[in-house]
Amino acid sequence: TDEVFMNAQEAVGAHRDTQEKEEHFNNQLNALAIIDPVECPNNCGRAYKGLRRKHSLKRHLLYECGKPPQFQCVVCLKRFTNKKSVQYHLAAIHKIINH
């Protein structure tokens, strides 16, 4: 039973070490992403930093850049560039949740 307990402790330690190495690696990646931002090819002035910068740029090009806001509040007709903003607006301004 001592052997089983020691193996379990060693496994926990090894898992913790792996998590620490992974966290360090992610921190390094994020630091590089901040140093190397991705800019909008349409020269609109938007630049994205961080690990999700390419995803953010893709979303910007599809829904925002040079386009009118595509999402609209059903109550006051105010327009937004993304669905989450409409949901936040409905909850904060009109007190409507989960529309």
Sign of CA dihedral 51, 57, 59, 64: positive
CA–CA gap between residue 82 and residue 45 (Å, rounded): 19
Query: pLDDT of 25-45, one tens digit each?
Result: 666 666 665 677 889 999 999
Q: What confidence tier does 71 reach under pLDDT thresholds 50, 70, 90? A: very high
Q: Is the pLDDT of residue 1 over 60?
A: no
Query: pLDDT of 45-67, one tens digit each?
Result: 999 887 788 899 999 999 899 99
Number of neighbouring beta carbons within 10 Å of residue 44? 13
